[in-house]
Chain A
Amino acid sequence: MTKLCSVQELDGLRSRLSAKKDPRRRVIAVCAVPGCGAYGSEKVPPALREELKKRGLEDKVEVIATGCQGFCEKGPITVIRPENILYTSVKPEDAAEIVEETVVHDRVVERLLYKDPVTGERAVHENDIPFYKHQTRNIFGRNGLIDPNSIEDYIAIGGYAALAKALTKMTPESVIAEVKKSGLRGRGGAGFSTGQKWEFARKAVSPDGAKYVIVNGDEGDPGAYMDRSLLEGNPHSVIEGLMIGAFAIGACEGYLYVRTEYPLAVKRLYIALAQAEEYGLLGKNILGTGFDFTIRIFRGAGAFVCGEETALLASLESRVGEPRGKPPFPAQSGLWGRPTNINNVKTWANIAPIIANGADWFSSIGTKSSKGTMIFSLVGKINNSGLVEVPMGITLRRMIFDIGGGIPRGKKFKAVQMGGPSGGCVPESLLDLPIDYDQLTAAGAMMGSGGMIVMDETTCMVDIAKYFQNFLKDESCGKCTPCRVGIAQMHAILTDITEGRGKEGDIEALEELSDVVKNASLCLLGGTAPNPVLTTIRYFRNEYEAHIRDKKCPAHVCKKLITYKIDAEKCKACGACLKACPARAVSGEKKVAHVIDPARCIRCGACFDACKFDAVELL
């Protein structure tokens, strides 16, 4: 590897690399990440290579272990190019058949194709599958093209060209103007204009000239994992964006702040940084332009509140991750008191394409106030769970029913929870709402970092509200009283409601507390904490009332309010429930319908899950 001393050398390297990659050449791309690893995906690429070697094809066919390709429900995904044949749930044992049939004989392995759960039809190509058909994968699609551990792969598909363009053909001011013009808004949730944020940091005066840029990879929202998939699947796209931002702002040092729960992302980023340094894309005098920049990696230590920028800065300085009041904003006084710009992983990943393709290309996608695409994690009670990238303005209905394939087991859709613990639950009546920052805020939810958790009729909305308050109660840093005490009180009231001790006036008390916590908290953790409670009250008040007045949980979730009972007519006395019961609450003999002793029953649901005849009822 030789250092690249000019843009011409980078371009030369790119053309040499892409010359090697004949577009007609056969490539097998398999996603090999921990999510898929649970299905044994990391063993698939070696098995394929082994199989190719046996037939002497190892030089003709390339196998790439890629990052996440999004369709996690059917992982590991294997795409065979140039035809773009997509196989789902591939196992190492399938390698021989794939090589024999598809590689050697150009035939499709029918059984590995995606099967539509409704029509039963098989889809051959990536773009025939509804999950992919309705997406616009500008940012995330590149994950499937490259090996995340190879900077050469990234350069070959046009990587670092945007950086070269910014460094040689643009000024810092024109980069900021371009980002501003594109209409890109922060993808971390609050949706502040990225260009404007950069401008503040650019204009701020540093006492010693030092300024910092930071990637916020403290993806704490439960139910969201696209930041992790970007860092693991295409680390250079984030690094390139960060470098362009550093050039625009005038920073000489950057930090990658990554959650401690993501060890693979950290590992891949270290590899990526080392490769970039070897090519001279990081360090002194980058590409001979006189621009100096270094990046350091910082692991978080497990605190949700550290996603808040001032708390993140505090932990970067090895202090307790407690937020502080703003102003001063980090753009004026951030890390070590110097002007600092912090953006989310997805925001940084959007920068290089904007610079490379221009602001007009970016702003042609999306709605009036929200431009570009957004990556969501579509999870929960949904058929096609995974990561999806869609243009802003798409409706929730299309997301959930066209891309997501609807609700499993014919259950009824109830709500979709958006924006993590700061967001809210959107009910069925709002499914035609176009997704953009302002529309979601008006509905009481929030774009957040893009978590979309689908809930069906078996999800209890009071339980969900309690779940989030419990989460936030633990994650509140405790610095300010309204958040520390208010959330704990809301959680206590919700616990009472779910355990049958609810009383008239509880809903009003929750609303009043919400008002205080919202308005009096120091940072946005508390400022948005009541959202899950307020939206569930707003859209599902009847469920609260059922818990409080009738002492019933309509979704049969709240343990204290349900009873398990065996329907004597349906019971075949097979003994499955008896074996499954950990509390010995089931009694019965051969050929005699079994009975559950309510006094012993711990309501774990084991009998319910074990019964093959649906004889165990929930009351």
Chain B
Amino acid sequence: MMADAETGGTQKPRRKKVGAVAVVGGGIGGMETAISLAESGYRVYLVEKNPSIGGTMSQLDKTFPTNDCAMCTLAPKLVGTARQKNIQLLTNAELVEVEGEPGSFRIKVLRKPRYVNVDKCTGCGTCMESCPVRATPQIPEPPKVAENLEPEKKARYDRVIGKYPDRKGALLPILQDFNAEYHYLPEDALRYVAEVLEIPLSKVFHVATFFTAFSLKPRGRHTIKVCLGTACHVRGSPKVLDAVARKLGIAPGETTPDGEVTLETVNCLGACALGPTVMVDEEYHPMTVGRIDALLKKYGWTNVDKAESAPAPADNEALATRGAPAR
């Protein structure tokens, strides 16, 4: 955020413009702005809420897209900001109020206490070392998943993990096997795998949520997949998907309340000549909107159909003469 004293509006200035600028935020952007302004002759007040400038970039290893070392870019700017005589650093401070208009305004800055005389401090670090009260965080060790797992479950998990004695690169195949067995990834299984393979849980979840083959929610006993590949798309698969969703009463990605069937979409089943293709469990079905009823009936999923036809609109008199539409 930057307010430039030179860029006044077209309105008549009420007060005299001053050549001082306030830059809020001492990250890489704020520092660069402050330095450029200071070099072109402005007085700059750089307000930063943390005790030191540098911002998030100081925590980065590399930067996009060139993979340059972040610190190599940042360090000269840190030094430049500190050395520039036209910049006044207001660290550990927050902007609380702005009053006035572009070109002429006042800001109110809240400076938090430091308990150290900044002018005299050389940053030698001795006080830190000799301070008897340390703020060492006490994070309790999380309980081990293995201890709380039912023995039967643990044996089942171990059987899968045991198939991959070479732990290097075993995570994905293990998750695939879990997925094949349970049709989804149970949370305790993920926690257990992280523990056994000694991988951070965040990494396990990263992999588990990245790939579309995995689901963290339990899936139904059967899966119906509607292919949305290009060939199926041009032959009308969106219509098929709409109709299947309507007839089952669930949106893609959802499971019927009785846990019977999960509706999913897939980007290509590789059965493009049949399109639009629908796959129930492992079976392929070339589909049209008209054939959906027969398919759902074949698998005995017609009960959901009743729910859809139940609220018959009363105002449609034609229905009364014909009776309820046969489905």
Which positions in A face B, CB cutoff 8 Å? 34-35, 37-38, 72-73, 75, 219-225, 228, 259-263, 298-304, 315-321, 325, 336, 377, 379-381, 385-386, 417, 420, 451, 453, 455, 459, 464, 467-468, 471, 474-475, 477, 480-481, 520, 522, 575, 578-579, 581-582, 584, 587-590, 604-606, 609-610
Contact = CB atoms under 8 A, between A and B. Distances in A.
Given A35-B284, A72-B274, A75-B273, A467 B233 contact: yes
Contacts of A225: 268, 270-272
A604 B243 contact: yes
Interface in B301-325: 308, 312-313, 316-319, 321-322, 325
A215 to B, nearest CB: 16
Interface of B: 64-65, 67, 168-173, 175-176, 206-207, 210-214, 228-235, 239, 242-243, 246, 266-275, 277, 282-286, 288-290, 308, 312-313, 316-319, 321-322, 325-326
Contact of B268 (A223, A298, A582): A223
Contact of B234 (A37, A220, A381, A578): A381
A513 B212 CA distance: 27
B269 A223 contact: no
B326 A579 contact: yes
A132 to B, nearest CB: 15
Contact of B214 (A220, A221, A301): A301
A604 B316 CA distance: 20
5 contacts: A223-B268, A301-B176, A380-B235, A468-B230, A471-B228
Given A299-B176, A587-B316, A385 B273 contact: yes
A301 B267 CA distance: 13
B231 A222 contact: yes
A605 B210 CA distance: 35
Nearest to B286: A38
B81 to A, nearest CB: 26
B251 to A, nearest CB: 15
**Nearest 9 CB-CB pairings of A with B:** A72-B273, A222-B229, A301-B211, A225-B270, A302-B212, A302-B213, A222-B268, A318-B171, A379-B231
Nearest to B318: A587
B289 A261 contact: no
A34 B212 contact: no
B234 A453 contact: yes
Contacts of B282: 263
B230 A467 contact: yes
Contacts of B234: 380-381, 453, 455, 459, 464
B207 A319 contact: yes
B198 to A, nearest CB: 13
Contacts of B308: 582
B210 A261 contact: no
Given A380-B230, A455-B234, A609 B272 contact: no
A586 to B, nearest CB: 8
Contact of A589 (B64, B288, B318): B318
Contacts of A72: 272-274
B63 to A, nearest CB: 12
B268 A578 contact: no
A454 to B, nearest CB: 8
Contact of A609 (B289, B316, B322, B325): B289
B272 A377 contact: yes
Nearest to A471: B267
A453 B325 contact: no
Contact of B284 (A37, A298, A590): A37
A479 to B, nearest CB: 9
Given A301-B175, A451-B230, A325 B65 contact: yes
B211 A578 contact: no
Nearest to A522: B65
A453 B235 CA distance: 10
Contacts of A610: 290
A74 to B, nearest CB: 9
B284 A223 contact: no
A578 B325 contact: yes
Nearest to B288: A609
B210 A579 contact: no
A89 to B, nearest CB: 12
A464 B317 CA distance: 41
Contacts of B317: 587
Q: Which of B207, B231, B317 has the most CB of A within 10 A?
A: B231
A222 B266 CA distance: 10
B322 A303 contact: no
Given A72-B273, A263-B282, 14 more contacts: A72-B272, A261-B270, A298-B173, A317-B168, A318-B173, A379-B231, A453-B231, A453-B272, A575-B322, A579-B325, A579-B326, A584-B313, A604-B289, A609-B289
A582 B221 CA distance: 27
Contacts of B210: 303, 320-321, 477
Contacts of A316: 169
A35 B213 contact: no
Contacts of B290: 609-610
A303 B211 contact: yes
Contacts of A451: 230-231, 272
Contact of A318 (B207, B242, B243): B207
A92 B326 CA distance: 33
Given A260-B176, A451-B230, A320 B235 contact: no
Nearest to B175: A301
A592 to B, nearest CB: 9
B318 A582 contact: no
A225 B317 CA distance: 50
Contacts of A224: 268, 270, 272
Contacts of B326: 579
B265 to A, nearest CB: 10
Nearest to B212: A302
Nearest to A71: B273
A223 B183 CA distance: 27
A589 B321 contact: yes
B321 A223 contact: no
